[in-house]
Structure 1
Amino acid sequence: MKILVLNAGSSSLKYALYENLGKRVEGNIEHIGEPNGPKDHRTALFEIERELAGHGEIRAFDELDAVGHRVVHGGEKFVEPVQIDERVVEAIRALIPLAPLHNPANLQGIELMRKLIPDIPQVAVFDTAFHQSMEEEAYLYAIPLALYEKYGIRRYGFHGTSHAYVAKEAAKYLKRAPETLNLITLHLGNGASACAVQRGRSVDTSMGFTPLEGLVMGTRSGDIDPEIPIFMQKEGMDADRLLNKESGLKGLCGHNDVRTIEKMAKAGDKTSRTALKIFSRRIKKYIGAYTALLGNVDAVVFTGGIGEHSAMVRRMVCEGLEPLGICLDDTKNRKNVNIVSTEGSGVKILVIPTDEALEIARQTETVLSVHKL
């Protein structure tokens, strides 16, 4: 089965072709709609088609068996991936107010591909779906219930495809069935989130109504006093821009690339060192909280660009967690191997590269297999 995975952004289009779930070709068309890029997403899709043909994979899109689309927000309606039809398209459109920066672009990719290859099955895989297993006490905010009932204001969580993927991969490393494990998964990149995974199901996650809540991120503040944005706006500041694009690591030290921040910290820059301490401390607090929620933890999983590559961040996060049974082996950690905990650590510490495109391909194949039945 040949499955094309598409992740359509406002000015980019990431793609990966899988054959029998083995990756064949991947790429990213950028600067769409800009002077130095394709004029629109339709043109970008034709570029992808030519690229795949150039590699000898397919002559045209109609030779595909399926297309899997990343969709950021599925709200409460979508608790699992679904085969796309008109009702699904309209439901995704109705969710645009909850994800105005992402769902319109995701939807554009879906609609264009449905026009180009109307007879090829297509599947939507939602970032929020994995977290729809949370109970009311996890997803409801302590605000008037009418705001949830009328506007859908609740915790949705994001990065669900990544958390789902690494949770399953962790089970393979531990040689256990996913439904027997309790995990804390940490997706650490420019966007960052933590997830408490109990017996294969998300029971809590750090991102909330939007991706702004939770951990400190590259440019996002994460958890803050809710009165702060109100104060900002009263003082004439653009709270949305400041908290989403000018805060986090960038707000603390002027940079949002952890590689740069680490170099500066090692060179003695106090501001950079403090930024890393704040970043790591927030993650540590979530590990403690999720340990309390889960009761016992089998493994802590680091993934994402920072989680996979920053030995310094992993060390700073794990320092002092030995009373919780989380014991880092510094030598293994510096070598960036997959298991970086000590032999006697009660909680395994894993470093697992995420592969959201592969997870989308897997879920697409599963949906179509069920649909055929």
Structure 2
Amino acid sequence: ANHASNLGALMADKLAKELSVPAYIADPITTDEFIPVARISGVPEIERKCRAHALNMKAVARKAAEKLGIEHAESRFVVAHMGGGISVGALVGGKIHDVNDALLGMGPFSPERAGALPLAGVLKLAYCGDFSQEQLERKFSKNSGLKAYLGTTDLREVEKMIAAGDEKARLINDAMIYQIAKEIGGMTATLDGQLDGIILTGGMAYSDRLIADLTHKVKAFGTVLTFPGEGELEALALAACRAVNGLEVVLEY
């Protein structure tokens, strides 16, 4: 799938050669740490992929472990990154044991993306003759979710609509929160209910309304910690420091 993050390695390589310095790629979207059972989809020809907002999810798991005073290597968290796309994953010792594919498939719908869909409806759209494969991929990854229902990807605008009495906006917003909570519950089950906390992060975590509504639904599963925003530049810098200082094994591909 096309994504701006695919340019990262090319840019890093170019800058490294120009400046004669090493370059590191840290926790990319396709970081694959799935446990074997998480790969099984139910259809032998289709394998579930580990594709998520790994950089920020791993960074906030480190921060949460430090905040709780536990060893990162022994930590067990469910992390929900909520931005243009939504990733909800089970992290054990900082490794992503399971997560929904945040780009095309599984998980909650988001401001832009469709999330998990009924297969009958997908097949109907695929064969109705109105869409090419590329057009459908764009529809599901860029033109679904809040954008399709309400005409905006900005949660702040959605909340203004709700405040003005728009019942459709309220329903769609509640449905998104419902789906996020359901995914968090599912990931809690993959950890056998044994977790140190639930971490809410990403741009949408700045919304007091969303955090309050989501916390109400999932607080029974464990301690809820919030780290609004993405902090990806900080995460990149800290990852490079760990590599340079020999605190992490540097892999070459």
TM-score of Structure 1 vs Structure 2, range by shorter chain? 0.7 to 0.9
Q: What is the CA distance between 1:367 and its match in structure 2?
A: 2.4
Give the distance between the partners of 1:261 and 1:253, measured in 2 at CA.
8
Give the distance between the partners of 2:106 and 2:4, measured in 1 at CA.
17
Q: Is the 8 A contact 1:171 1:181 kept in 2?
A: yes
Q: What are the within-5 Å matches in structure 2 for residues 193-272 of structure 1? A: 193-207=87-101, 210-238=103-131, 239-272=136-169
Which residue pairs with 1:285 in the alignment? 182
Q: Is the 8 A contact 2:38 2:48 kept in 1?
A: no
Correspondence for 1:352 among 218, 221, 227: 227
Structure 2 SS opposite 1:100: coil
Which residue pairs with 2:197 in the alignment? 299
Give the distance between the partners of 2:142 and 2:33, measured in 1 at CA.
30
Give the distance between the partners of 1:100 and 1:306, measured in 2 at CA.
23
Which residue pairs with 1:134 in the alignment? 34
Select the structure that is richer in helix. Answer: 2
Q: What is the CA distance between 1:359 and its match in structure 2?
A: 1.7
Q: Is the 8 A contact 2:181 2:217 kept in 1?
A: no
Structure of greater Rg: 1
Give the distance between the partners of 1:120 and 1:184, measured in 2 at CA.
36
Q: What are the within-5 Å matches in structure 2 for residues 1-373 of structure 1? A: 99-102=1-4, 104-117=6-19, 119-128=20-29, 130=31, 132-144=32-44, 147=45, 153-207=47-101, 210-238=103-131, 239-294=136-191, 295-307=193-205, 309-321=206-218, 324-325=220-221, 347-353=222-228, 354-370=230-246
Give the distance between the partners of 1:107 and 1:196, measured in 2 at CA.
26
Superimposed CA distance per residue, residues 68-105 of structure 1 (whole angstroms, 9 cap, x where no aligned partner): xxxxxxxxxxxxxxxxxxxxxxxxxxxxxxx4333653
TM-score (norm 2): 0.85
Residues 1:369 and 1:178: Cα distance change in structure 2 (over 3 Å): closer
Structure 2 SS opposite 1:273: helix
Q: Which runs of 4+ in 1 moved over 6 A?
A: none
Q: Is the 8 A contact 1:140 1:155 kept in 2?
A: no
Q: Is the 8 A contact 1:212 1:244 kept in 2?
A: no
Superimposed CA distance per residue, residues 150-171 of structure 1 (whole angstroms, 9 cap, x where no aligned partner): xxx5312211111100001001
Q: Is the 8 A contact 1:179 1:199 kept in 2?
A: yes
Which residue pairs with 1:45 in the alignment? none
Moved more, 361-370 or 295-304: 361-370
Q: What is the CA distance between 1:366 and its match in structure 2?
A: 2.4
Equivalent position amino acid for 1:140 in 2: I
Output the aligned Cα RMSD.
Answer: 2.3
Residues 1:286 and 1:103: Cα distance change in structure 2 (over 3 Å): closer
Give the distance between the partners of 2:17 and 2:61, measured in 1 at CA.
35
Q: What is the CA distance between 1:219 and its match in structure 2?
A: 1.3
Q: Is the 8 A contact 1:207 1:214 kept in 2?
A: yes
Select the structure that is richer in strand. Answer: 1
Stretches of structure 1 that go unaligned for 5 or more consecutive residues are: 1-98, 326-346
